[in-house]
Amino acid sequence: MKKSRNLQAAGWLLSVLLSTTAVAHAASNKVVIGDIDDMSGVYADVIGPGGVEAAKMAIEDFGGSVLGNKIEFMVTDHQNKPDIGAQKFREWADTANATMILGGSNTGVSLAMATVAKEKKVPFIAIGAAGASLTGKDCNAYMVHYAYDTTALGNGTATTMVKQGGKSWFFLTADYAFGTQLQESAAHVVTANGGKVIGAVRVPLATSDFSSFLLQAQSSGAQVVGLANAGNDFTNSLKAFNEFGLGKTMKPAALLAFISDIHSLGLQTAQGLYLTTGWYWDLNDKTRAFGKRYFAKTKRMPTMNQAAYYSATLTYLNAVKAAGTTDSDKVMAELHKAKINDMFSSNGKIRADGLMEHEMYVMQVKKPQDSKYPWDYYSLVQTMSGEEAFGKLSNSACPLVTH
């Protein structure tokens, strides 16, 4: 009888251990996605709360769970401060078991977060941060750069404007890593195509008065004012450009503009602008279908970055499903194998340097009389292949790329 009790006890203990192991395994495979982005500042309209909505749509479309666990989603505001972004990333990795972090909207913040991603071995998908160094000299094995970068933006807008006669440039540049890299990229394109850079002025983030900076641009005699900024800084600088009548002698170059900016400015102000984008809601049947679904929820059409939030979230979840685990190295391997064919990208791929390479588009903002329905703002000027826009992988400065 005693032997029987011992066997029963042993069997019970074994079942408890197996059950505990199964629970622990399930817990370790729980997907926890964190969104660290600008929710209230200069870039809030570009992604912000609208990006949260797009990511939630992706989670819902995926079914809400993966590997037997409900998908968790967390949100915080980095306030465009690198230390806050890095601190929250580290906190979520240590205490919330975050399996992937979305966000950025600021190159300086994303560079800080990428450092933590490497340290904690947690995948980080940067969207909205444009700096090409994220997948260049500052790349790491846990970093993915979605949507666009400064190289693609320069290759699109600057090339188009120089070829149309805008040979001499003066830059209004956001005074941090993003602005610096965007100016460098555009300036390289300008000089490579026979143009010249006459000057530049650095403008603090979230500047409200652009008058002194624009007067410097005007006095330079340049044909083009390169607006190496984004979000509210872009819209405020373009409004001031028009108010001061600079359009009589100069043309503005929108080096990074979003449909939310054009909607805010109105076609009367923004008409004729050239810009480069990775996505537009009215581009094809897939983009229109997503745009209409998103509009039904938010009463606004999605920006390129908000659409990228949806795509990146779905791409990550598919990688987790394919890997059968949330193990970062195995998920990253699946991401690098993925062919991204969805409402955002056709034949997109995540290169060895972490860049999501896909087609980019040069657009021109329509005149008011040419817009046929709400949010009908762009005319397609040129489609660039992924390699044409972002450059060859063999030219990447990322140490992970074997040349």
Phi, psi dihedral angles at 348 (to 5 degrees): -70, 155
Other C-beta atoms closer than 10 Å to the C-beta of 221 total 12
pTM of structure: 0.91
Sorted by where each begins, the domain ranges of the chain are: 31-148+283-358, 151-277+361-389
pLDDT confidence of residue 344:
98
The pLDDT of residue 403:
65
Q: Where does the pLDDT of residue 104 fall: very low under 50, low under 70, confident under 90, or very high at 90 and above?
A: confident
- Taking alpha carbons only, the member of 57, 123, 95, 72 closest to residue 308 is 57
At which residue do the structure tokens 């970068």 appear?
149
* DSSP track, 122-166: --EEEES---GGGGTTT--TTEEE-S--HHHHIIIIIHHHHHTT-
Confirm or reject CATH 3.60.10.10 for domain 31-148+283-358, answering yes or no: no
- Residue whose structure tokens are 């990322």: 398
Residue 2: both structure tokens together = 């005693």
Sole residue written with tokens 């992706």: 58
Mean predicted confidence (pLDDT) in 50-60? 98
Are the CB atoms for 32 and 97 separated by under 8 Å? Answer: yes
Say which residue, 185 or 23, is predicted with more confidence.
185
Q: Which of 13-27, 122-136, 208-222 has the lowest mean pLDDT?
A: 13-27
Q: Rg of the chain's alpha carbons, rounded to an integer?
A: 23
Q: Reduce the secondary structure of 288-299 to three states and give it as a string.
A: HHHHHHHHHHHC
- The helix/strand/coil state of 24 is helix
CA separation for the pair 124, 198 (Å, rounded): 38
Which of these, 324, 363, 297, lies nearest to 148 by C-alpha position? 363
> Could you tell me the sign of the dihedral formed by the alpha carbons of 371, 373, 374, 379, in that order?
negative
Shared fold status for 31-148+283-358 and 151-277+361-389: yes
Structural contact between residues 135 and 398, judged by C-beta atoms closer than 8 angstroms: yes
| pLDDT band (50, 70, 90) for residue 158 | very high
Task: Tell me how long the chain is.
Answer: 403
Antiparallel, parallel or unpaired: β 69-70 and 65-66: antiparallel
Average pLDDT value for residue range 163-190: 96
Nearest-angstrom CA–CA distance, 213 and 111: 28
Which tens digits make up the pLDDT trace of 228-249?
999 999 999 999 999 999 999 9
pLDDT of residue 105: 87
Q: How far apart are CA 178 and CA 43, in angstroms?
A: 13
d(CA 84, CA 77): 8
Per the rule left: phi > 0, alpha: psi between -120 and 50, beta: everything else, 153 is: alpha
d(CA 333, CA 319): 8
Residue 257 · residue 364 · CB < 8 Å: no
pLDDT, tens digit (0-9, with 9 covering 90-100), for 269-309: 999 999 999 999 999 999 999 999 999 999 999 999 999 99
Q: How confident is the model at residue 18 (pLDDT cuts 50, 70, 90)?
A: very low
**Distance between CA atoms of residues 209 and 80, nearest Å:** 20
pLDDT of residue 5: 42
Band (224; pLDDT cuts 50, 70, 90): very high
Split at pLDDT 50, 70, 90, the class of 28 is: confident
**Residue matched to tokens 């400065």:** 397
User: DSSP letter at 20?
Assistant: H
Query: Which listed CATH number (3.30.565.10, 3.40.50.2300, 1.10.287.10, 2.60.120.580) goes with 151-277+361-389?
Result: 3.40.50.2300
- Of 386, 395, 311, which is closest to residue 148 (Cα–Cα)? 386
Question: Which CA distances in Å does 62 have to 26, 65, 286, 333, 337?
Answer: 19, 7, 17, 20, 20
Task: List all residues 6 or more positions away from 376 whose beta carbon is below 8 Å from its beta carbon.
Answer: 282, 366
- pLDDT value of residue 3: 43
Q: Would the pLDDT of 219 be above 90? A: yes
